[in-house]
Every structure is written in C-alpha cells, then in structure tokens.
C-alpha cells in the first residue's frame, strides 16, 4: 500500500490522498504484488482469493463500523474484530494481548446486553461511548503475591497489607481521580435524581488510601510540586491530622517538613564521532563524488556518513504532504521538460511559450502535487505560478541583453581529480548550460530554497583543520565541481551562477568581469582546496564527526534523531 500510494507500484490510486477501500481490493496491481510476495515465500494464492481477503478485512476494519447506528451494532463490530484477531492473529505469543482481548470481549458483551443496546445514536456518540468505556478498563500485571515488588493500582490493594508502601503521583487530579462527565447521563440530571456519584467515588478512594497507609510500617507518598501540580487532598488531611497531634502533645503547633527530591534531566549526549575502518576507507576511495556529497561532508561529516556511505534514506509516509524539497523537484522537472526542446537552438520567451509553460505547470500541479495536499493547495499553486512568472520575466530580460542558445538541460557530466597519485571520480548533473552570444558557456544551477551559498573565491588551502576552515571560507564546492566536470578546463573557463527561483532577478555570476587567466587561477585554487578536503575524507585518523554549529542546518537534517 505504501509503495502504491507513493507511485512505486502503478496502481489506479497512486498519488491519491483519499482512497476508497473497494479501490484497493479491486486493483489488480495490489493483488498481483501480494501474490508474487507470497509465492516467493512458498505460499500459493490466486488473485481472486486475495481480493476476497482484502474485502473481508475492509468489512471488519472499516465498513462494519461505518454502518453502526445502535449500541448493539457497535458491540457486533467489536466482536467481529476480536474474532478476526483471535483466528488469524498471533495473540498467544504475548500473554498481555490475550488479557486485553478478553477484557475487550467482556466490554462488547456488556454493551450488547445493556438496556440501551437497541437505541439509535449518532456515530460520533457511539464511538465516544466505546472510547470512554475502554479508557476505564485496566489490565493488571500478574505477579507473585508472595515475594518481590508488587506493582498495583489502588483498588488492587483491597484486603492486603504491606510493610513498605511507595505511592507515586499523589497529586490532585490523580488521587482522587474523579470524572465529572458521564458519556450518557449529564451530571445535572444525576444531581436532580439525587445521585452524587462524585462524592461517593471520592469516599471510596479515600477509604482505600487511608486503609493502605494505616496498614504499612514504612509508607512513602511521592508527589510533584511546581507549576500547576498540587499535592492530593488526602495528603493534606494526613498532614493536618499529624500537626494536630503534635500540637496537642507538645503544646505548640507542629509543622511537618516533607523531604524534597529534585531530578535534573540533562539532554542526551551529542552523537559520538564514527571511526573510519579499513572497509569504509576502501568504500570512500571507490566512490563517485557529486557536488552535493562534497558539500554535505563540508557541512557535517556525520551526515555524509549516513547519507552517502551507509545510504540511509528517510521513509516517506503515505499521504504525507509534499515539502519544500518535493516542490523543488517539481519545478526542476517542469523546467527540464519545457527547456529541453531548445537544446541546440536559440532560446525564445514569447507569449506562446509562456502560455504553454503555465498550462504544463497547472497540469503537473493538479496531477502530482494537489492530490497530496490539503485545503491550502491553491495557495501553494498561486505562489508557484507567481514565482515562475517572475522567473520568465527575468529570462526575457536576459535575452534582451544578449542572445542565448541552450547547450544542455539536466545533463550529467563526469570527471576525475588527481589526489596523491589516485584518480578520484566525480559526477555532476548540471541543470542548464547556456551559450551566451553563441560562444561563451554559462553554467546555471537552479535553487528553489533560500539556503544556497555561492563559493567564495579565491580560497587558501588550510594547513590544519581543513574542513572547518573551508566551511567558513569556501562555503560550497558546487560550482567549481560543475566547471571541472564540464571539461571547460581544457578550453575557456565558463562562468557559472546559482539561479534562485525565489529571487530570479538576483542572478549573481561567479566570474563576472574576471578575465580568463584569472578565472583559471581561481578554479585551480578551488580544486587544490578540494584535494585537501578529499585527503581528509580518506584519512582514517579523522572520524565522521557531527557538526552542530548551524542549528538551521541541523533542524532540516533527516538524520537528527540519530545524533542523540
């Protein structure tokens, strides 16, 4: 199901946010994949049987509950679910599961035999009744009553005495625990009938508390202080009685001083550096490095380890709304599709191109983005359209300055870099390469976010603490890696720029106004810095250490839970 919703399996409902159970059961792709998985595990099953199983599951888990109009219907749906779990589940492998099912079955039978079983209620009221009824149930731990520590609820101590008693959370709202509202009968009605259930319930809990305390030789009552926490009225009664006794015996009012304990909750320690084993160093030497991989190591070696060495990927939840990264991918795909016909031709941004561009944007958004979003999809759509209109305006102004011929769109380039006698492989997928005035190459890298950093040149190669120094001085190796993989070092050094899709008017060039001879020196210096960084990557004495110097970067890191 997860794979089908994400579009990995070509089901009829792929990419949809809302799906009917019948669509899932009747989709041949789902039944086919399930059959293949079962056959690989030695279980024979045909599509018809799998379809019937899915329909049965949907009936028990969804449809039967949707049809509930009376308490008897609710009890029948619950019993049907419990029967399914008992017949096909694995309840016997964990004894508490059996106890929970037994208690739920008792609840279902109580509801079915109640005086209101045939009364009709709104579905929301029925489900609230069941939820509140189940919340009252307690499944106790079974222990030996003759030895060891007994973990018991207050009412489980009836008729039992203990030498040592430790009672936790003796605070108001916990002890006594009183429910003001009943799911069926309003409190005002109960008071009008002379049924003050709250007073009676408090008396019962006070009796159990007093009896347990009186029967123990060593009693510890633990409660929280501070904020809205107040110690229980039962403790206040004990304190008042004890102080009265002290005042009577000593002639002066005695004051009790409870023992105070405080607990300091220190945050979990930061992630420890991960050492580089010989196997890991071998993997590092054989990798093909992208500009993103280099920048990831520059910002946080530990994230580089998780993302590029271990290749851990964040699981996408089915039905999860698209994030900023998904919108960026959507825009990159749109620009690739609309600019690909201009490869080898002169770029033209006219009214016909704009209309076709916006029609394609609307179509793709309706198919790929809107089904995964909630009511605010129209706002995202308007923002995307507005930014793309500004982008096309900026493109049109560029064409007024000089004619542009598109040389490549989303093309992958490869290159190598010599590091201490070794050839390190690099690859770069460049969003777009333009030929300005028909001859001068311009490498463009689209950026849909706001955190893009252009490299700062020239850069000096540090002699120590290479990564940290380069992070502060170089910022990013993306454009130098693109220039190197483009192969331009064999000829003229092209210019390059980060093209912000948020602020397309602010296109800043890496080498604007810098002559070719100086450009070659700047790129050569950047590659020397890259060699120094790669040496550190290969160095087994330098572990993959976390870098938490930028809270914003850590906040969007998908591996932040592994750093604690």
10-residue mean pLDDT series, the chain (564 residues) = 70 72 83 81 80 88 92 93 86 76 89 90 90 80 64 80 88 80 64 72 88 89 85 88 75 65 65 90 94 93 94 68 76 93 92 94 87 71 91 92 91 92 94 84 85 78 89 90 77 86 83 85 92 95 90 83 76
Position 102 in a domain: no
Single out the residue of 359, 335, 478, 496 nearest to residue 409, CA to CA.
335
Task: For residue 296, tell me if it sits in a domain.
Answer: yes
Encode burial over 9-32: b for 16+ CB neighbours within 10 A, e otherwise.
bebebbebbebebeebbebeebbe
CB within 8 A of 221, min separation 6: which ones?
A: 167, 170, 213, 235, 238
Render 507-554 in DSSP notation, one character per residue.
Answer: -EESSTT--HHHHHHHHHHHHHHHHHHHHHHH-TTS-B----S-HHHH
Closest CA to 538 of 471, 466, 476, 480: 466
> How many whole angstroms separate alpha carbon 478 and alpha carbon 294?
8
Q: What does the block give as tokens for 425?
A: 């492989």
Tokens 């976010």 -> residue: 449
392 lies in the same domain as 536: yes
**C-alpha span between 556 and 550 (Å, rounded):** 11
Cβ atoms of 156 and 114 closer than 8 Å: no
Q: Are residues 445 and 326 in the same domain?
A: yes
Q: Provide the 8-state DSSP code for 457.
A: S
**CB count in 10 Å sphere of residue 323:** 10
What was the pLDDT predicted at 441? 86
At residue 304's C-alpha, the angle toward residues 302 and 307, to 5°, is 110
CA pair distance 340, 250, nearest whole angstrom: 97
Task: Give 368's DSSP letter.
Answer: I
Q: Give the C-alpha separation, 110 to 127, whole Å.
A: 15
258 and 366 housed in the same domain: no
Find all residues with CB under 8 Å of 290, minimum gap 6, and list them: 426, 427, 428, 429, 481
Q: Give CA–CA dist 345/548, Å, rounded.
A: 47
Residue 30 lies in a domain: no
Q: Where do the DSSP E strands lie in 297-390?
A: none
E strands along 124-253, which residues?
A: 164-167, 218-221
Domain count, the chain: 2
Domain boundary among 212, 235, 265: 265
Question: Which among 549, 555, 531, 416 is positioned nearest to 485, based on CA atoms?
Answer: 416
What are the structure tokens assigned to 307, written together?
A: 């993302």
- Within 13 Å and on the Cβ side, how many CA atoms surround 41? 7
Residues 244 and 372 in one domain: no
What pairs with residue 20 in β-bridges?
Answer: none
- Count of CA atoms in the C-beta half-sphere (13 A) of 352: 2
- The CATH number given to whatever domain includes residue 341 is 3.90.320
Report residue 226 as tokens: 């501070």
Cis geometry, peptide bond prior to residue 176 (ω within 30 degrees of 0):
yes
Q: What is the DSSP letter of 114?
A: S
Residue 24 has a pLDDT of 83
If asked whether residues 394 and 498 sit together in one domain, one would say: yes
Does 422 map to a domain? yes
Distances (CA, A) of 145 to 141, 160, 167, 317, 526: 11, 10, 18, 46, 74
Radius of gyration in angstroms for the set of CA atoms belonging to the chain, rounded to a whole number? 35
Boundary of a domain, candidates 265, 287, 320: 265
Same domain, 287 and 246: no
Are 327 and 179 members of one domain? no
Residue 108, class by beta-carbon neighbours within 10 Å (0-12 exposed, 13-18 middle, 19+ buried)?
A: buried
- Is 227 found in the same domain as 299? no
Looking at the structure, do residues 305 and 236 belong to the same domain, yes or no? no
Among the candidates 212, 242, 265, a domain finishes at 265
309 and 419 in a single domain? The answer is yes
Residue 144 falls inside a structural domain: no
Residue 551 within any structural domain of the chain: yes
Tokens of 271: 């992630």
How far apart are alpha carbons 552 and 194 in whole angstroms? Answer: 61
Looking only at the bridges linking them, the beta strands covering 422-436 and 440-447 are antiparallel
Q: How many residues does the chain have?
A: 564
What is the phi/psi pair of residue 490, to 5°?
Answer: -75, -15
**pLDDT of res. 489:** 46
pLDDT the model gives residue 98: 80
The answer to whether the CB of 525 falls within 8 A of the CB of 458 is yes
Q: Are residues 218 and 347 in the same domain?
A: no
In a domain, 83, yes or no: no
Domain contains 556: yes
Quick one: 428 and 541 in the same domain?
yes
Q: Structural domain of residue 168, as residue ranges?
A: 149-265
**Residue 177 in 3-state DSSP?**
coil
Report the alpha-carbon distance of residue 432 to residue 404 in Å, rounded: 12
Place of tokens 């759509």: 381
Which of helix, strand or coil describes residue 433? strand
């Amino acid at each position: 199901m997860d794979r089908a919703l994400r579009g990995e399996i070509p089901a009829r409902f792929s990419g949809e946010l809302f799906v009917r159970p019948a669509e899932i059961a009747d989709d041949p792709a789902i039944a086919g994949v399930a059959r293949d998985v079962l056959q690989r595990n030695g279980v024979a099953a045909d599509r018809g049987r799998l379809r019937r199983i899915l329909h049965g599951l949907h009936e028990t888990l969804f449809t039967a509950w949707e049809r509930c109009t009376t308490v008897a219907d609710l009890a029948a749906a619950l019993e049907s679910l419990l029967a399914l779990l008992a017949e096909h589940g694995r309840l016997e492998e964990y004894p508490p599961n059996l106890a929970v099912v037994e208690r739920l079955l008792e609840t279902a039978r109580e509801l079915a035999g109640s005086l209101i079983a045939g009364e009709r209620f709104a579905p929301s009221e029925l489900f609230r009744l069941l939820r509140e009824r189940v919340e009252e149930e307690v499944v106790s731990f079974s222990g030996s009553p003759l030895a060891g520590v007994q973990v018991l609820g207050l009412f489980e101590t009836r008729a039992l005495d203990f030498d040592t008693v430790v009672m936790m959370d003796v605070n108001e709202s916990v002890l006594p625990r009183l429910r003001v509202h009943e799911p069926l009968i309003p409190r005002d009605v109960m008071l009008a009938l002379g049924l003050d259930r709250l007073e009676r319930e408090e008396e019962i809990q006070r009796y159990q508390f007093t009896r347990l305390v009186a029967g123990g030789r060593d009693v510890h009552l633990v409660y929280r202080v501070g904020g809205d926490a107040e110690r229980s009225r039962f403790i206040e009664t004990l304190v008042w009685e004890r102080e009265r006794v002290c005042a009577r015996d000593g002639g002066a009012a005695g004051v009790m001083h409870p023992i105070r304990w405080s607990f300091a909750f220190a945050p979990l320690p930061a992630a420890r550096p991960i050492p580089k084993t010989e196997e890991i160093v071998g993997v590092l030497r054989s990798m093909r490095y992208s500009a993103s991989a280099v920048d990831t190591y520059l910002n946080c070696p530990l994230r580089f380890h998780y993302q590029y060495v271990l290749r851990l990927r964040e699981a996408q939840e089915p039905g999860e709304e698209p994030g900023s990264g998904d919108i960026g991918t959507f825009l990159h795909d749109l620009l690739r599709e609309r600019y690909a016909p201009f490869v080898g031709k002169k770029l033209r941004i006219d009214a016909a191109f704009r209309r076709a561009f916006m029609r394609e944007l609307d179509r793709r958004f309706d198919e790929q983005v809107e089904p995964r979003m909630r009511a605010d999809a129209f706002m995202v759509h308007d923002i995307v359209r507005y930014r793309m209109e500004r982008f096309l305006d900026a493109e049109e102004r560029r064409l007024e300055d000089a004619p542009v011929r598109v040389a490549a769109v989303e093309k992958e380039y490869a290159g190598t870099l010599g590091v201490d006698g070794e050839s390190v492989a690099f690859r770069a997928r460049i969003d777009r390469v333009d030929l300005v005035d028909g001859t001068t190459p311009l490498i463009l890298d689209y950026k849909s976010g706001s955190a893009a950093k252009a490299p700062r040149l020239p850069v000096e190669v540090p002699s120590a603490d290479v990564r940290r120094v380069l992070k502060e001085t170089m910022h990013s190796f993306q454009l130098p890696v693109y220039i190197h993989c483009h192969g331009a070092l064999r000829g003229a050094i092209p210019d390059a720029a980060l093209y912000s899709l948020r602020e397309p008017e602010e296109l800043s060039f890496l080498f604007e106004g810098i002559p070719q001879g100086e450009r070659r020196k700047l790129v050569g210096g950047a590659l020397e810095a890259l060699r120094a960084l790669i040496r550190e990557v290969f160095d087994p004495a330098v572990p993959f250490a976390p870098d938490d110097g930028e809270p914003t970067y850590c906040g969007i890191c998908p591996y932040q839970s592994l750093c604690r």
